[in-house]
Structure 1
Amino acid sequence: MLLFTLAARVGFGQEEYFKIEDKEKKTGVTRAEAAREIERPETGSGKFADKLRLGGSFGLRLGSYTNINLSPMAGVALTDNFVMGLGATYMYVRSSYYIPTSNDHFYGARAFARYNFLPMIHLHAEHEMMNVSFYNHGYGKYQFVDKEFPRRWIHSPMLGIGYTQPLEGKLVRGIHATLLYNFNYNNHINPSINYDPRFFNPSMSQRNISPYASPIVFRVTIL
């Protein structure tokens, strides 16, 4: 029995050796790289646990407008280069634009897709929904009489390109630095403002209720 076990192990080891040698000849990769590829099956053919990606992003902006952003994310690798998933977002916001200074909590969710068309370059698309509060100026069509800081859901479709630094983790396969454009940013208008300059001419910071400072959004994500 012992001899049979040893023989089986030797046979298995030889089979793995020839697999590695064959992959090395066909692809031109080094023997060490070929061995790693043999040990780790391709994403498209593995179990669900092999396709799962976990991570998220963290953002921080300080000053007269403070924004602390925490966004956990989970995705599934449909192929080695294409990941789709969902995420949740929480923001603590502190603004000194108003007297007295306001503090609030924004929250929401996002659906995203990321495709690496080159090993270290990716395209990223997402749709984010965020529940935000805004200052009631009382100059517009909607007066929100009983609320100084009413709330509203806003939608942000975003598209961008970024750089991926690959990692060797099981659930985290890369660090992604992405530059996105928010196509709905200029529509996130405070509904309590009358835009007739004869009566009121608010600054951009008072006019736009988006939690982002501009339509350009930069993110660093691990996933």
Structure 2
Amino acid sequence: MSKNKKYAGILLFVLLAWIFSPSVGYGQERKRDHDKERQEKEESNRKFFFGGNFALMIGTITNIEISPLVGYHITTRLSAGTGITYAYYKERFTGFNTYESHIYGGRIFGSWLAIKNLKELIGLPGNGGIIGYTEYEALNMDDNYKTTLINTGDKQREWFHNVYVGGGYRQPLGRNASFNIMVLWNLNQSPKLPYDNPTIRVGFYF
């Protein structure tokens, strides 16, 4: 092989390497950017959570309550969200007509994971933690609830504004899901409200 052919071969190799190397590098860079965007999207989606509470009581008192919610993890400990509430309430009294009502409204809430893992802190079994909780709730319901206790046909509806404070136990159920049980005190002491004070609330989140 002559020197000219040898140099020409080297030159061709260098030229091809120069042409294709940026393309390969660009392709790898695009893949890295795509993977990064996908990871950021997955992390952003994990910040949102859904869930709610469901209550069912059938007997002399019938209470069916559905309360879905959506929330956002602001930090690993702090969360906030909003939800809606619907409840059907029916109660039968001796000597009185049956009382029946539909209750609906909305709420906003904040939750703070005070202790992430009780097992690490004090050696308790499981990996649950302690949460603090506060909530503002607006409920629309009959203003004669627990006063007349009968269906008179002339009910008037009213908005009741409730502020709950309290806390409870949070048990993780996998990567994103959890089970919460809380004890909440309502700072609104109106005798017209249908709930006990304090109230126990159980919910699932995912």
**Match of residue 100 from structure 2:** 103
1:180 paired with 2:184, answer yes
Counterpart Cα distance in 1 of 2:154 and 2:135? 31
Counterpart Cα distance in 2 of 1:147 and 1:100? 11
Q: Percent identity?
A: 30
What's the RMSD between the two structures over aligned residues?
2.9
**Match of residue 36 from structure 1:** none
Counterpart Cα distance in 2 of 1:153 and 1:83? 27
Residue 215 of structure 1, CA deviation:
1.4
Matched ranges for 1:118-197 at <5 A: 118-119=115-116, 120-133=129-142, 134-135=144-145, 137=148, 148-170=154-176, 173-184=177-188, 186=189, 188=190
**Match of residue 193 from structure 2:** 210
C-alpha distance 66-81 of structure 1, shift in aligned 2 (>3 A): same
TM-score scaled by structure 1?
A: 0.61
Counterpart Cα distance in 2 of 1:129 and 1:67? 18
> Any idea what SS the aligned residue of 2:97 has?
coil
1:46 paired with 2:65, answer no
Residue 96 of structure 1, CA deviation:
1.2
1:222 paired with 2:198, answer no
Report which of the two has the higher share of strand.
2
Runs of 4 or more above 3 Å deviation: none
Counterpart Cα distance in 1 of 2:163 and 2:157? 20
Unpaired segments ≥5 residues, structure 2: 1-23, 33-38, 117-128
**Match of residue 111 from structure 2:** 114
> Any idea what SS the aligned residue of 1:50 has?
helix
How many residue pairs end up in the alignment? 155
The 8 Å contact of residues 132 and 209 in structure 1, kept in 2 or not, is answered as no
Amino acid at match of 1:178: M
- For the pair shown, the structure with the greater C-alpha radius of gyration is 2
**Match of residue 26 from structure 1:** none
Amino acid at match of 1:215: N
